[in-house]
Amino acid sequence: MSVLRRRKWVAKSLLSSAAAIVLVMGCGHAPEVRVAPAPEGESGELASDVDFAHAYLDLGTRYYEAQRFADAIEQFRFALELNPYSDEAHALIGMSNYRLGKRELAERSFRRALQLNSRNLLAQNGLALVSNDERERAAALESAITYNPDVPELRNNLCFMYVQSGDVERAIQECEASVRLDSANAYSRYNLGYAYQRQGRFEEALEQYRRALEIRAEWARVLNNIGLVHYYRSELSNAVEYYRRAIAAEGSEAIYHYNLALAYEAIGVRLASAELRGEPARNVYGVAADTDWREMLREAASEYSTYLELAPGVSDAQRIRAKVAELRARAG
């Protein structure tokens, strides 16, 4: 494979990583980066230098793929020394700095790349990652989609941003478009399910979450959201099942323990209330009639405690500690 052809292929790989970061756990792959043409009237010697610049871009991309981001930046800078008009090199430096946590440097590089080539997809997607201006973030992706309407990953990323901003209707439109373009993208399925969930369209949300799990088995974030849907519908036994699966897949995520604690507490409190009212034992909320409500409260206290251990700096820690003490006292 030639250097140029490989460079186009790896550019797709790089924007794939960029898209994955946008959703934290979010988006998928994306298209090749376009390179600005060399200025008119340059000599044949410079054209040769540009060819060498491509070789540096290729090597830098290999380092990027190996997560050697500082080494990648060095190679991309060598490419810029030979061809300072390479929007691709600037965009790749931006993405490497982003992966190193250097957002300001990343933003500077993305903006420079866009000055050289306003259609550079990696830079447009990158600016959507780092800009603090919500409207600018969305505008960057909208611009990319204008020139590339059939790229599902861009639609998916825009869907995510609309969800975050509360514009759920537009989010659904973009995610449905993304799914039509690529039905096997788990991130698009997840985001579409979440948008449906935000609208209270629970059956449709569950269908998208299940499709996401078919593509990416035991994805903790999806399992947690399925648990949430069941919790909202008072299907507490099902909620517990999916929260447990989420924890089995990613036990270090504090919020999964908190959600499981809420479900255990809801079961315990409702069963205890029924017992105090003298109601006959019966299956309620998907929970067996012989379930010990005291044990449910103990489990809730345990999960709340685990949540605090994993997230000790949460703002409502004092309230949760008081709840733990209350639940343990009530359970006896």
Q: What tens digit of pLDDT does each residue of 258-287 get?
A: 999 999 999 998 888 877 777 765 555 666
Whole-angstrom Cα distance, residue 218 to residue 276? 39
Helix (H, G, I), strand (E, B) or coil at 284: strand
Q: What is the pLDDT of residues 208-255, one digit of tens each?
A: 999 999 999 999 999 999 999 999 998 999 999 999 999 999 999 999
Parse the chain into domains and list their residue ranges.
1-36+44-140, 149-217, 219-332
- Does the pLDDT of residue 111 top 70, yes or no? yes
Q: Please count the residues of the chain.
A: 332
| Domain boundaries 149-217, corresponding CATH code | 1.25.40.10
* Residue 88, burial from CB neighbour count under 10 angstroms (0-12, 13-18, 19+): buried
pTM over 0.85, yes/no: no
Give Cα 292 to chain centroid, integer Å.
38
- Indicate if 219-332 has the same CATH topology as 149-217: yes
Report which of 176, 183, 256 is spatially closest to residue 219, judged by C-alpha positions.
Answer: 256
Q: Across-strand partners of 284?
A: 287
**Options 3.40.50.970, 3.60.15.10, 3.40.50.12280, 1.25.40.10; CATH of 219-332:** 1.25.40.10
Q: What is the pLDDT of residues 168-202, one digit of tens each?
A: 898 899 889 888 988 888 988 999 999 999 999 99
Residue 232's H or E segment, with its range, is helix 220-232
Cα Dmax for the chain: 93
Whole-angstrom Cα distance, residue 324 to residue 258? 12
> How high is the pLDDT of residue 71?
93
Which tokens in the block code for residue 32? 């090749």
Whole-angstrom Cα distance, residue 188 to residue 208? 9
> How high is the pLDDT of residue 23?
28
Whole-angstrom Cα distance, residue 227 to residue 235? 9
- Does the pLDDT of residue 96 top 80, yes or no? yes
**pLDDT (average), residues 84-112:** 91
Q: What is the pLDDT of residues 277-320, one digit of tens each?
A: 777 655 556 666 678 899 999 999 999 999 999 999 999 999 99
Amino acid at 141: L
Query: Which has more confidence, 127 or 50?
Result: 127
Query: Which has more confidence, 131 or 69?
Result: 69
Exposure letters 125-156 (e unless 16+ CB within 10 A, then b) = bbbbbbbeeeeebbebbebbbeebeebbbbbb
Whole-angstrom Cα distance, residue 191 to residue 71? 34
| Domain boundaries 1-36+44-140, corresponding CATH code | 1.25.40.10
**pLDDT (average), residues 18-45:** 34
Whole-angstrom Cα distance, residue 91 to residue 125? 10
For 128, half-sphere exposure in the C-beta direction (CA atoms, 13 angstrom radius) is 33
Confidence label for 160 from pLDDT (cuts 50, 70 and 90):
confident
Report which of 20, 142, 4, 115 is spatially closest to residue 61, judged by C-alpha positions.
Answer: 4
